[in-house]
Structure 1
């Protein structure tokens, strides 16, 4: 059995269950991680888009807040599973989809991670070049990729440490940027300029809700080391508040910047996001400090993407091989492979390709809304938080290779969203009737839940209590004896 001391340098565990004697940390670490990961430049861009797409600054702010609260609640419910199960998020989803069935959403998750990591690497490379004063984009991109690789390889503890650093730098940097926005722009006059429009308001809700929902497939990866006695409410609220406050603050700054640009104050933020924030902060040393804040924030979320992608790849490969653990070497190869791929895309792709790729990634987000619906309904309402852990690794066990109710409900939820989509690659007919309003994520949640809940309840295979793997029980007994 793989063992790991709490103070070891490099994380050795991956898809296996975390024993009680290796559990550590406090719920507040979830707050700092998700606050730091969301207080970053891409959140600013997402908030700015709400105004670019036509919303008044006031209604964009309110819509983004509602979306963050709704999506953040779903995301935090996933996080609350971590201490109870001690498992990565996508391994636990085998209880709903089956050992092999869980591979289907995982493949799309890996593609999503690659897309977000690539676009994030481009922005961070620009910030690093601004710090170093160089023009060659490859320099900043490669440096950022290297930093991401190091932190993802070190693992869980260092990712949380980075989250704490990002929280401090994010608060300092974004407080300063917010003050400068109020100094340079007539902020009060930017709000309430346009009348309320339902279409643009709901679009703002969807932008922020979609942002939060994308964390669902890996959020429990970062709470699974918390002691099993950790109250679910503590994990939920720390994750929820960290993610919602950090995201809403950054998105609100984006709303202000975009509204000011539309009113003729300052340049265009979306044409040069990194340079714009540097100029908003000031010139010289101040701009460099702002670039450092940008790099730390993006490094946090990019490390989450790299770590989550290797977890997803291991979940796929071990389902096919039948293994319950993965070696440190394999873990390293998966992390380096994903980061190398994201760096290559960032280096060699044209700007047009990156824009198309980002749009494709936005379309992929529709696959995670029904996944969240299935996972949460099963965990909290059907299985009542009881999992047969050994069965998660055995396609001939309790959960089988394929779970038909979950898979049918999942794909029904995906298909039901298509007429309601409003993306660059496709706009659904019902969306056109609604004037361009994208409510696909709401439809995905409701349709999937309506199909899955009664079907899964009548075919419930969950145990009455948690069933732990033998090695977990042996470790617990050994720890009790030693004490």
Structure 2
């Protein structure tokens, strides 16, 4: 992972002027290291700790099985996440703009709308959870006040844009990384580990696979916006450095806090995740919870920023002459933040659990999109796209609707349903047969990837044959004339 010089960073004091427009080559900036810090720094937060805790609390796994499942899931899911990141330096546009090259200008709108709803949902959930976390350790601070503080930090970073979010992530890489290390030492060295630690839990295949699935989906959830944060990278950066820096940044940045969560789940089984973390780090809990909650704000800024870009993408598709700049981004971001803040402040205590069921559905709808996007980019077109056509009303050479992509996407969504578990609302028959294990993302990837590739090749052959048949009479007439 040797870093090659790829250009200077842009000063964070300047507000980003671009939104979804292609980034000109002479405005590209940043280094390979930025791809590591943006994903390492923003993954070390309270939610990743809680997610890791599911392995031992909800799925009942022992320490070795929880650790292995967390590693396998993150390393697998990060492959897809990093493949999307590698697209940014090549095309220089946000991820959801690029998807017009697979689905067509209008065919992509459904996917983009789903992404807006999903990241607005993530934004709301994180506001609620982060606000509660801050309130638990800061005296006289209410949960609603914590929500407002996190929303303010998120909207500020979104309005300033790309460079400030990257700078935020660089700071959190060191701050969160140091506090994470301190939390490990405090929880497992300073405080004595009970002798039952390694004997708690019982290995089951269903529990292990559920741990793998949760960790993998954590990474795949980044797919719809990951290249938004690599699109300014100089084209000479190349795909490989962007891939590997993103891959190791997001993998290590997720695995370590998930380890902490799984370990705390064994220390204090049955306890609320925040309460367990507070008790395990007693003496420094204020520092730990505060820094991890600030990390939540960094991630939420990314959610709001990308939701804003997606909303602008929808507007530009409907009104091709619309050109959004920094002011438009500020207006759209403020509108989305107002909606999220209203919901977060008026939500009940069971909001996050209820909304997570909805997010499961939305995430399931993104896996087929990931398969179509990556197969098209790497195996069909080999990264060769006419970026200017993404902004045309008729989609240019990609058309308004690319039906092979849309149909393969719908087949992929349907194929996942029997494998899905949506809280207590729905358990698919195959998931039930697998011991209540949700591996729907695997089913979606395995169905859509070959289906889309073979469909595209078949359509190309049919079109080629049609052209030959169409030209044949003209050749015959030409031969007769010549005779």
Give the alignment's TM-score, normalised by structure 2: 0.89
**1:133 match: secondary structure:** coil
Aligned twin of 2:92: 86
What's the Cα RMSD here? 1.9
* Matches of 2:99 and 2:128, distance apart in 1: 32
Structure-to-structure mapping, 1:412-431, within 5 angstroms: 412-424=411-423, 425-431=425-431
Structure-to-structure mapping, 1:101-250, within 5 angstroms: 101-129=107-135, 132-183=138-189, 184-186=191-193, 189-191=196-198, 193-250=200-257
* Matches of 2:154 and 2:252, distance apart in 1: 25
Q: Per-residue displacement from partner, 1:213-251 (whole Å, max 9, x unpaired)?
A: 000000000000000000211111110001000100011
Q: 1:373 to 1:209 in 2, by over 3 A?
A: same
Structure-to-structure mapping, 1:79-478, within 5 angstroms: 79-129=85-135, 132-183=138-189, 184-186=191-193, 189-191=196-198, 193-262=200-269, 268-270=271-273, 273=274, 275-283=275-283, 286-323=284-321, 325-396=323-394, 397-424=396-423, 425-459=425-459
* Matches of 1:233 and 1:189, distance apart in 2: 44
* Segment drifting more, 102-111 vs 200-209: 102-111
Q: 1:277 to 1:195 in 2, by over 3 A?
A: closer
* Matches of 1:337 and 1:324, distance apart in 2: 18
**2:236 match: secondary structure:** coil
Kept in 1: contact 2:90–2:238 (CA 8 A): no
- Which structure would you say has the larger Rg? 2
* Matches of 1:153 and 1:460, distance apart in 2: 44
* Matches of 1:371 and 1:31, distance apart in 2: 25
* Segment drifting more, 48-57 vs 246-255: 48-57
The answer for unaligned runs of 5 or more in structure 2 is: 1-8, 462-483
* Matches of 1:35 and 1:188, distance apart in 2: 33
**1:17 match: secondary structure:** coil
Displacement of 1:195 in angstroms is 4.7
* Matches of 2:188 and 2:138, distance apart in 1: 29
Kept in 2: contact 1:324–1:393 (CA 8 A): no
Q: Per-residue displacement from partner, 1:371-414 (whole Å, max 9, x unpaired)?
A: 11000000000011100111111242101111101100111101
* Segment drifting more, 323-332 vs 383-392: 323-332
Kept in 1: contact 2:415–2:444 (CA 8 A): yes
**2:421 match: secondary structure:** coil
* Matches of 1:231 and 1:135, distance apart in 2: 47
Kept in 1: contact 2:44–2:257 (CA 8 A): yes
Kept in 2: contact 1:374–1:452 (CA 8 A): yes
Kept in 2: contact 1:258–1:269 (CA 8 A): no
Aligned residues: 448
Kept in 2: contact 1:46–1:254 (CA 8 A): yes
* Matches of 1:128 and 1:323, distance apart in 2: 44
Kept in 2: contact 1:394–1:400 (CA 8 A): no
Indicate yes or no: 2:54 matched with 1:49. yes
Aligned twin of 1:467: none
Kept in 2: contact 1:383–1:460 (CA 8 A): no
Displacement of 1:45 in angstroms is 0.8
* Matches of 1:371 and 1:147, distance apart in 2: 31
